[in-house]
Chains A and B, each alone.
Chain A
Amino acid sequence: MRAKKKKAELRKQETDNKVVTIYGNVKGNRVPSRILEEQIQQAVQEKARELHIIADGQHGIGGRIWPRGETVKIVVEGPVGQRLGSMGMSGTEIIVKNSVSDDVGWLNCGAQITVLGDVTNGAWNAAAQGILYVQGSGGARCDTMTKQNPRFEPPQSWYFRDVGDSFAEFKAGGIAVVCGVNPRNPKNILGYRPCVGMVGGTIYFRGQIQGYSEKDVKLLDLTPQDWEWLKANMKPFLDAIDRASYYDELTSSADDWKKLMAYTPQEKRARKWFKMSASEFRKNMWEKEVGQGGIFAEYLDHDLTLLPYITTGNDRRNKPIWANEKYAPPCAYACPTHIPSHKRASLIRQGKLNEALELVLQYSPLPATVCGEICPNLCMQACTRAHLDKPLDIDRMGSLALDLPAPKKAEPTGHRIAVIGGGPAGMSAAWQLALKGHTVDLYESSDKLGGKIEQCIPRERLPHQILEKEISRFKELGINAHLNTKVDKGTFDEIYKDHEVVILAIGAHQPRKIAFPGSEDIVSAYDFLKDINMGKHPDLKGKKVVVIGAGNVGMDVCSEAFNYGAESVTAIDIQKPAAFGVEMEIAKAKGTQIVWPKLTERYDKNERKLYFKDGSSMDADFVVMSIGDVPQIDFLPPGIHAERGWITINENYQTSDVKVYAIGDATGLGLITHAIGHGRVAAENIHYLISHAPRHPEIKQVIPYERIRTEYYDVCRGDFPIEQEANRCMSCATCRDCHMCEATCYWGAISRVEHKDGSYEYVVDEEKCIGCGFCAGICPCGVWEMVENI
């Protein structure tokens, strides 16, 4: 305590003189940096305004002297420690009489520091104000992180000789001057890689350099203002470091000087990121080496240009096709005759009712009989509309055709064709061939046309006058119908010789029978039904009738049995009955029982019992066997093959004799509509054959149900006049000219074009269409189709 007090008194005495000398080493003992700092601060507190420090490696000498409005001058000599003058404030003036250690002027806030020697590494690091004068050189990393606070003048650092590596890294402000006098490395006075990360401030230098951070700073000549500033400020610097004699040399020419300045953020942002654009590289380097157009050009046959994602014309990935009538609608497809009912509906919608009704006669001679009455109407079963509410009334369209006259025939061709058999198949074929202008000879063994329709269909299912009326229209066409003409071997040969083509439409008129004990006492369905239609009525009053075979013919038998007084009628079958539709409904309504499986063993006429293989039996006063009929083909020459009793044909209805065709039940049992279909399609084939146009009638694929947009149609209840009914038709696969596609196309690519003949089509402007598929997706009829655009 006492010693401290004594020292303080001593210092007070000195401060009174305003000059204080402080020793960093007292009697060989180095004064710690902390104590020296205390002594300096104390001295200044005590009004000392000039301090002489004899240093001995102490840290941070001369910093942190708070401004007092007057100058505090500190003269230092001897070895100084790091960070001399750190955090120096304005008003402090430090003069070091020799070189200093690292970080001189660190975080300087206004002190003026003059070093009459070299400064080592990190001089002026983070200086924000004040001045550094260096008589010698700077070490590495001088002037790094310096700044300028707008409240103050920028910091200045002056180096008389040169500076070391990594100068001015991250410099953000302030002015550095490197005079380049007698540099240690004359080839590079700013050291290796100066100015990395420099964002502000200015460096004036004089002498050679070897590069700088080009991405951060730019090298410029001095402006007149720079030069004036430099000349003005050079003098006090040189005076301070005792080198005034160099003034003329250093200010002789602005051309000796250059300056480095940071790029502004705007300049950096505006800078091109790529040294060279890829397209320049491609043009000037890549293609010069690998060839024009690049490495693949020689293999590509398209333009070497870019395409957008949304393309038109040939560049579309998919394109729409107005595929009108490419597919068959389900009605026409399901109909064995392929009657285009959708077209009839379309004509009706156009107000052409008669044309619509007449159209059917191009396909069938018996529309009222078959479509209207006895056909199970496969067309209606398939009708798309059936899945919404109920099928289109196609049967009614057939019935409405009853009173129409026969259509006009084509001009006579001179070709002669024979049709053997006047049933539905034969009539259909004869009708078609006659319409096409061919001469047709039709041979029928009975006295009436109509075949089984005439002979076996119960009259209650088909009013006879309808059939008669249609047969009379059939006759209007001028077909040579040879009734009561049974064809045998001899007549067949003659017919064969006299005609270009012979069509066998002989039906199946030989009942099949299974032989078992008592089967001779059983009557066939064929004979049973035929007799009734011929007027020979059986008396079944009070009788128990059993019908073996529960198909649709069997059902007709059951109905007729009731009609003629049967007490009960039972149809038996060995398997699940094949009967369906109206036939079964009528039979069941009258009380027919159907029992299966029952395999008959024998019939005992006396017991009036039918015995089955399972041991059971059934009362049976009258038994009818209805297990189908087979054709009578014994008159045919051996060149016409048959298999298991049926005439074999190819897909064109041609038999093994190319001149002979076979259709209808003679080729296998089917519905009446099948027989009519055979007749039409066979006639088409024959027509092509004899016209030397060997092709086949086009059978279109059916349009998938999913393609019809049923959503457009509301559910309808009740019956409608035929005009309104036609509106219900969904016009599957056939354009209904509704303009929906035209309306939905966002790009206006679809338009309707009307041709001179009154027909129309919807067309696509390829240059507008992007191939989106809206037309295909929303077409009510499924007409538009998207295909790959190859």
Chain B
Amino acid sequence: MEPASGIRLDHNHKLSLREFPYIIRWREDRCKRCGKCTSVCPVKAIEPTVKVQRVVKSEGPVPTPAAVRSITHVVEQVTDMERYCTGCGTCTLVCPNEAIEPEFNPQHKFLHYKNKGGDGYKRGGRRNDPSISTLDRLKFTRISMLTDPALDAGRHEFRVRSLIGRILPPEELPLKMVNGKLVVDKESRFIPPVREIFPIMIGSMSIGALSPPMWEGLAMGVAYLNEVEGLPVVMASGEGGMPPGLLRSKYLKYFIIQIASGYFGWDEIIHSLPHMVEDPAAIEIKYGQGAKPGDGGLLMAQKVLKLIAKIRGVPQFVDLASPPTHQTKYSIEEAVAKMIQSMSMAWGFRVPVYPKISGTKTARAVLNNLARNPYAAALSIDGEDGGTGAAYNVSMDKMGHPIASNLRECYLDLVRQGKQNELPLIAAGGIGKKGNLAANAAALIMLGASAVAIGKYIMQATADCFGDEYNRCNLCNTGKCPRGITTQDPKLYRRLDSDRVAERVVEVFKAADVELRKIFAPMGRSTELPIGMSDGLSIDDQAMAERLGISYAC
């Protein structure tokens, strides 16, 4: 409607600061107006402006009013939902005087308004739920000091390793006696490829979702761990191809190449195939992502610059959609079997091939299908607390299955079939959400996982990602990542030092190795991973204990 004649509307339909998730606390007494904060704010949530103060004084013996006005230049938070403060705190980081800081506002009504243009709120990050996850409630309660051989993590030798690939049961091992010696009979049957890896891997994050220095930093860290430290950590490529320089290098063996519904980068990978000097660690077929089941990926055209276009094998400046489902797959039986066949065939059946699905009540159906498929190398299940570069908030917050019980029921299903040592389960989604990387990984291993994959944690730990479960920052989808992790803008990603990322990867995994020993040592495990050793676990909730088939401890 029209405003009343001759009147300018003022605060009508303007949001108050109280509706916003973060409120900027700016201290006038400390600020020197250097503008560093406003120059770095990724969303322009703060801006310089002008304030007037007016004070009326009366100093005489009788009322002698004098009005004093003063105008100051200030830094102010805007109340535009399009430019809401994400709480990233880059302003605080660059402020030389500690004059500015975003403060979380627990009474915010952000989601009530974040649907402008009739579209749902999209973001990066992971499920915004700061409560203690099941993984963090699991305790290791079997402490063997005198009952089992007690081990000392600092003193004894450990070998924390896991196997990815289909493991043949003893009775199926193709062994035969030749001249009184036991030898492997390679002719009699197919021997599935198996890789020995460190049980924590870096999960799929694509080139495109990640900036060049972030992806390369992770890749270099992984290569360093293998080459220098002898720790066989592997990293999954994500869906977005891999640069030929890496595909054709000997380091390819430390990488799991992902294929997903967008098939980005795959023709370039195939072109590199004849030039490969090593096989990749594995091939991951992505059917779902725990963070956003039912939601696909979309790399916005403005992020598809020369680099991404070349690596993905697409023209520049086009939107790249990865639909949530594959087009040429129609049923579990048909879809999984043909994908595993195709991908195995590409590397002469020398590379483990496994599918990745999002955590779901139907995971066991997939698992049972795989159990019958001799070429299936593993099943990766990605729980609801996984992260993503871009998704609808509703998919991230409300869709998906927690990893703990999903993984557990799959493992117990394998136990029932007697195949728990044959088809490895890879668990992901929320590992290290509160920073307890090794503990979460160990808990999942003891619930039945052969390995776990991490994503968000590694971004936080190695590149100082601001994101958290209070929706701090989570700008990954916008390409405005203030840390230079999830952006294709050189002005931003050149803030990130890939050498430093690599060093942090090394530190993180070495520390995790130490911590895993600290957990496994009192349980008397030093060389064999306690996969499914659920008698060592307890939880302080009866229902959870029952659901997971572990003991209740309080």
Contacts and interface: CB of A to CB of B under 8 A. Distances in A.
A658 interface: no
B243 A295 contact: yes
A387 interface: yes
Contacts of B497: 306
Given A295-B219, A744-B73, A316 B50 contact: no
A607 interface: no
B85 to A, nearest CB: 16
B306 A299 contact: yes
Contacts of A279: 499
A709 B69 contact: no
A27 interface: no
Interface stretch (A218-226, A248-256, A498-506, A772-780): A772-780
Q: Determine chain B's interface SS by DSSP, over half rule.
A: helix
B125 to A, nearest CB: 21
A317 to B, nearest CB: 5
Contacts of B495: 306-309
B216 A296 contact: yes
B490 to A, nearest CB: 5
Contacts of B496: 306
A712 B71 contact: yes
B503 interface: yes
Interface string B219-243: 1110110011100000000000011
Nearest to A314: B491
Interface stretch (B31-39, B175-183, B447-455): B31-39
Contact of B34 (A196, A311, A746): A746
A490 to B, nearest CB: 49
Nearest to A295: B243
A318 B228 CA distance: 42
B77 to A, nearest CB: 13
B50 A193 contact: no
A542 interface: no
B543 interface: no
B520 to A, nearest CB: 18
Interface string A277-304: 1110110011001110011101111100
Interface stretch (B113-121, B158-166, B245-253, B371-379): B245-253
B396 interface: no
Contacts of B216: 294-296
Contacts of A387: 8
Contacts of B50: 709, 711-712, 777-778, 780
B48 interface: yes
B228 A276 contact: yes
Contact of B40 (A197, A276, A309, A747): A309
Given A309-B40, A318-B39, A296 B212 contact: yes
Nearest to A779: B50
A121 to B, nearest CB: 15
A317 B8 contact: no
A261 to B, nearest CB: 19
B249 A289 contact: yes
B34 A772 contact: yes
B434 interface: no
Given A770-B39, A772-B36, A294 B49 contact: no
A232 B94 CA distance: 66
Nearest to A774: B48
A777 B72 CA distance: 12
A169 interface: yes
A275 interface: yes
A747 B36 CA distance: 10
Interface in A164-222: 166, 169-170, 193, 196-197
A197 B491 contact: no
A619 interface: no
A267 interface: no
A170 B152 CA distance: 12
B538 to A, nearest CB: 31
A290 B249 CA distance: 6
Interface string B18-48: 0000000000000011111111100000011
A305 interface: yes
Interface string B199-231: 000000000000010011001110110011100
A318 B47 CA distance: 13
A311 B495 CA distance: 10
Contact of B228 (A281, A300, A774): A281
Contact of A309 (B93, B155, B224, B250): B93
Contacts of B185: none
B155 A711 contact: no
A311 B246 contact: no
Nearest to B250: A289
B220 A196 contact: no
A299 B49 contact: no
Contacts, number: 162
Given A286-B223, A290-B245, A772 B251 contact: no
Given A286-B220, A310-B40, A774 B71 contact: no
Contacts of B35: 746-747, 770, 772-774
B220 A282 contact: yes
B502 interface: yes
B208 to A, nearest CB: 12
B90 interface: yes
A533 interface: no
A186 to B, nearest CB: 24
B139 interface: no
Contact of B33 (A300, A744, A770): A744
Given A285-B223, A286-B220, A309-B90, A714 B40 contact: no
Contacts of A170: 155
A141 B84 CA distance: 64
Nearest to A789: B491
Contacts of B502: 278, 281-282
Contacts of B5: 580
Nearest to B309: A299
Contacts of B69: 714
A705 interface: yes
B71 A711 contact: yes
Given A278-B500, A295-B243, A774-B33, A169 B48 contact: no
Nearest to A387: B8
Contacts of A273: 507
Contacts of B251: 286, 289-290
Contact of B229 (A275, A309, A580, A776): A275
Interface in A695-734: 705, 709, 711-712, 714
A278 B499 CA distance: 5
A295 B245 contact: yes
A307 B494 contact: yes
B307 interface: yes
B157 interface: yes
B499 A311 contact: no
A300 B39 contact: no
B137 interface: no
A229 interface: no
Contacts of A770: 35-36, 39
8 contacts: A286-B251, A290-B245, A296-B243, A302-B490, A309-B36, A318-B39, A772-B34, A778-B48
Interface of B: 5-6, 8, 32-40, 47-52, 69, 71, 73, 90, 93-94, 154-155, 157, 212, 215-216, 219-221, 223-224, 227-229, 242-243, 245-246, 249-251, 306-307, 310-311, 490-492, 494-500, 502-503, 506-507
Interface of A: 166, 169-170, 193, 196-197, 273-279, 281-282, 285-286, 289-291, 294-296, 298-302, 305-311, 315-318, 381, 387, 580, 705, 709, 711-712, 714, 744, 746-747, 770-774, 776-778, 780
Given A275-B228, A300-B307, A778-B50, 17 more contacts: A276-B224, A281-B228, A294-B498, A295-B246, A296-B215, A299-B212, A299-B310, A307-B495, A309-B495, A316-B491, A705-B8, A709-B49, A744-B48, A773-B39, A774-B33, A777-B73, A778-B48
* Interface pairs A-B: 4 shortest CB-CB: A772-B35, A777-B48, A299-B307, A290-B245
